[in-house]
Structure 1
Amino acid sequence: MENTIAETQEASNQYYYLAISLFNEGKSGYETKNALIENGLSPDAASLIVEKIETQIHEAQQEHAHAQAKKDMLYGILWCVGGTILTLSNIGFIFWGAILFGGIQFFRGLINLNS
């Protein structure tokens, strides 16, 4: 009985890895599902695998976008504050470029974080 469970798990892993490789090749969910069905998987099981992978891809993209938005906010505030401090230190220059660039980058990150 344990061999049957292990064999079933190995077969499902093979289908899962096949689906991942098809997505990495640029195939759509529809194409990936059809390829899994052509390789002997039931339509319901193929749909479940494709949906799971698409969900994981979407979550990874959201995490990446969230991290990038936080990074934009951090660097934006550093540029803005740095430019303001240097301007107020009376060294003879107005660092409006750093202040403006920092402000734009900060608000771009804030908008991306909230969307």
Structure 2
Amino acid sequence: MEVTEQHSVEQVYEYAAKLMAQGKTDEVIQAELIDQGLDSESATIVTQNLRDQFQHLHREEAKKNMLHGGLWLLGGCAVTGITFALASAGGGGYIMTWGAIIFGGFQLLKGIYQYYRLS
């Protein structure tokens, strides 16, 4: 493949990715690519490849949100539970980590929603 051909292919993918990032459907993207001079089969291949990449990236982001949210939730519950147990055993106060628990729970649910929305 020549350098100019590769550059053209990259331009097609960049244009299609821009449309996909704007929320355009695969059919609209394919129609736009065909209008730009690409044949129907190539337009389908480009959109399928990009859709796979977009889904992979969004799933990775969702997994990261689930992991971080779960860790914040677990950490908040652990600090609350440990300080409550210590306060119960020896008297005194304990730390209720509402912020970590709420933030972690929200981020965990957000990640779960993101992950299953793509299925």
> What band does the TM-score fall into relative to the shorter chain?
0.7 to 0.9
What secondary structure does 1:41 align onto?
coil
TM-score by length of 2: 0.74
Runs of 4+ in 1 over 4 A off after TM superposition: 93-98, 100-105
Whichever residue aligns with residue 10 of structure 1, its letter is H
Residue 39 of structure 1 pairs with residue 36 of structure 2: yes
CA distance in 2 between partners of 1:104 and 1:23 (Å): 30
Aligned match for 1:6, one of 3, 8, 28: 3
Conserved? CA contact 2:71–2:104, under 8 Å: no
Distance 1:34 1:86, change over 3 A: same
What secondary structure does 2:2 align onto?
helix
Identity over the aligned pairs, expressed in percent? Answer: 20
Root-mean-square deviation (CA, aligned residues, Å) is: 3.3
Number of aligned positions between the proteins:
111
2:15 corresponds in structure 1 to 18
Alignment gaps of 5+ in structure 1: none
Conserved? CA contact 1:79–1:102, under 8 Å: no
Alignment gaps of 5+ in structure 2: none
Aligned match for 2:52, one of 50, 55, 59: 55
